């Protein structure tokens, strides 16, 4: 992602105000190579294109700490929880540490919710419900100094932050209900 040959692409995306969703972390689907998705590479991109809005998928997992440090430095880099959201229900302690660290270093205003998940509707619904009901365990709050996830934090993560990035007012319904 930091190959200078793609700088013209980033330049055009920045000029057009496009939000880029960029895969970060481990590449587990062939023929992808993980060395091209290391979050630290975003430092070059974010530094050279400070107005380019970047939504880094998968929280950079398993290099989440690296992505947190990059997002902390660059106002234009956001962290997307895509693919990891189901862990709120299936691996809550692991998810609590990932989210707790992101909240500590990046804050609730730069974390976005996403699925990036090709599961069934019921599985996606379960991921939504899992995050609605999720809270960092008190034990981890005490041990690591993580703050509890508030309803306001969840509203930002679920829609407010991405809406702001995309220029969408998430407080208005767009679909008429009966």
pLDDT digits (tens, 9 = 90+) for 18-63: 999 999 999 888 888 999 999 999 999 999 999 999 999 999 999 9
Mean pLDDT is lowest, of 7-16, 62-71, 161-170, for 161-170
User: What local confidence, expressed as pLDDT, does residue 119 receive?
Assistant: 67
Residue 172 domain-assigned (yes or no)? no
Q: Tally the domains of the chain.
A: 1
Residue 174 domain-assigned (yes or no)? no
Long-range (24+ apart) CB contacts under 8 A made by 23-31 are 23/57, 23/58, 24/56, 24/57, 24/58, 24/59, 24/60, 24/63, 24/67, 25/57, 25/58, 25/59, 25/60, 25/61, 25/62, 25/63, 25/64, 25/67, 26/61, 26/62, 26/63
Q: What is the CATH number of the domain that holds 42?
A: 3.20.20.140
Residue 177 domain-assigned (yes or no)? no
Residue 137 domain-assigned (yes or no)? yes
Task: Tell the burial category of 72 from Cβ atoms under 10 Å away from its Cβ (0-12, 13-18, 19+).
Answer: middle
Residue 162 domain-assigned (yes or no)? yes
Q: How large is the C-alpha radius of gyration of the chain?
A: 16
Residue 175 domain-assigned (yes or no)? no
pLDDT digits (tens, 9 = 90+) for 164-178: 999 998 887 766 666
User: What local confidence, expressed as pLDDT, does residue 172 receive?
Assistant: 79
Residue 59 domain-assigned (yes or no)? yes
User: What local confidence, expressed as pLDDT, does residue 117 receive?
Assistant: 66
User: What local confidence, expressed as pLDDT, does residue 114 receive?
Assistant: 83
> What are the counts of helices (DSSP H) followed by strands (DSSP E) for the chain?
9, 4
Residue 178 domain-assigned (yes or no)? no
Task: Look up the domain containing 69 and give its range.
Answer: 4-166
């Amino acid at each position: 992602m930091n190959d200078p040959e793609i700088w013209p692409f980033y330049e055009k995306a920045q000029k057009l105000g496009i939000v880029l969703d960029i895969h970060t972390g481990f590449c587990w689907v062939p023929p992808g190579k993980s060395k091209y998705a290391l979050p630290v590479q975003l430092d070059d991109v974010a530094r050279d294109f400070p107005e380019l809005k970047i939504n880094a998928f998968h929280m950079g997992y398993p290099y989440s700490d690296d992505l947190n440090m990059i997002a902390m430095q660059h106002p234009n880099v956001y962290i997307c929880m895509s693919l990891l959201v189901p862990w709120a229900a299936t691996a809550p302690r692991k998810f609590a540490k990932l989210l707790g660290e992101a909240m500590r270093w990046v804050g609730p205003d730069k974390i976005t919710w996403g699925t990036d998940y090709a599961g069934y509707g019921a599985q996606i619904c379960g991921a939504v419900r899992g995050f609605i009901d999720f809270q960092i365990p008190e034990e981890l709050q005490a041990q690591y100094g993580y703050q509890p996830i508030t309803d306001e934090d969840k509203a930002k993560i679920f829609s407010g932050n991405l809406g702001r990035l995309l220029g969408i007012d998430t407080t208005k319904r767009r679909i008429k209900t009966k």
